[in-house]
Homo-oligomer: A and B are copies of this chain.
Amino acid sequence: MLIQTRPDPSPSAHDRVYRGLRTRIMHGEIEPGQALTLRGIGKEFGVSMTPAREAVRRLVAEGALLLSSSGRVSTPDLSNERIEELAALRALIEVELSSRALPRAHMALIDRLQLINGTISDAVRAHDPVGYIRTNLEFHRTLYLRAQAPAMLAMAETVWLQLGPTMCKLYGRMNRTEAPHFHRHIIAALKAGDEPGLRLAVRSDVTQGLRMLTT
């Protein structure tokens, strides 16, 4: 069989599949318990089973997917204990990240955060759960990128990934009326250079968002 001429020079096939699935999971576009098949993934991304399997294996290793004993793959349905753990991890890591970002947070960053916060409000008003989750993550990531701590950010994103399907389930059935108000606390603490206030605001935002996840 001839190699199909792909115009993409840099991204390998498994990487495209991995990124595609990853963002879908992190943004909460796949609900918990949904089953996936390697051949289906391969057909969707136009590749064979081999890259699909590698991408799935990687996501399983990161806790974003669950591999049943028979090898079947699906999105995990988290227990309340697991959710509490992941929320605690978010609090630990993201508080540290925000604290490290504070000294480098200049006005341009704060402006961008306020802009993103406005987009969150738009998504809330439009009752768009996926848009809400995606923009909310963008808010946090924009702040944490300033921490210049890639290993910590990767850890935080791994936690987000594990919570993705569960957040899909939650925000699907809940109707927010406004953007999370702790984001305003975060921005205010950044403006004031108030580190204890920032830590408290980030911790509150993370735990408040996940307290309602535990049924």
Interface, chain A (partner B; CB < 8 A): 1, 14, 50, 53-54, 57-58, 60-63, 81-82, 85-86, 88-89, 92-93, 96, 148-152, 154-155, 158, 162
Contacts and interface: CB of A to CB of B under 8 A. Distances in A.
A5 to B, nearest CB: 15
A162 B86 CA distance: 21
A149 to B, nearest CB: 5
Contacts of A93: 89, 92
Given A58-B61, A61-B62, A151 B155 contact: no
Interface of A is mostly: helix
Which 3 A-B residue pairs are closest in the complex by CB-CB distance?
A: A85-B151, A58-B61, A92-B92
A63 B162 contact: no
Contact of A152 (B58, B89, B151): B89
A119 to B, nearest CB: 30
Given A50-B50, A58-B57, A58-B58, A63 B152 contact: no
A91 to B, nearest CB: 9
A55 B171 CA distance: 35
Nearest to A78: B151
A93 B155 CA distance: 11
A31 B155 CA distance: 24
Given A53-B54, A57-B57, A92-B92, 13 more contacts: A1-B61, A57-B58, A58-B61, A61-B61, A81-B148, A85-B149, A85-B150, A88-B96, A88-B152, A89-B93, A89-B155, A92-B93, A155-B155
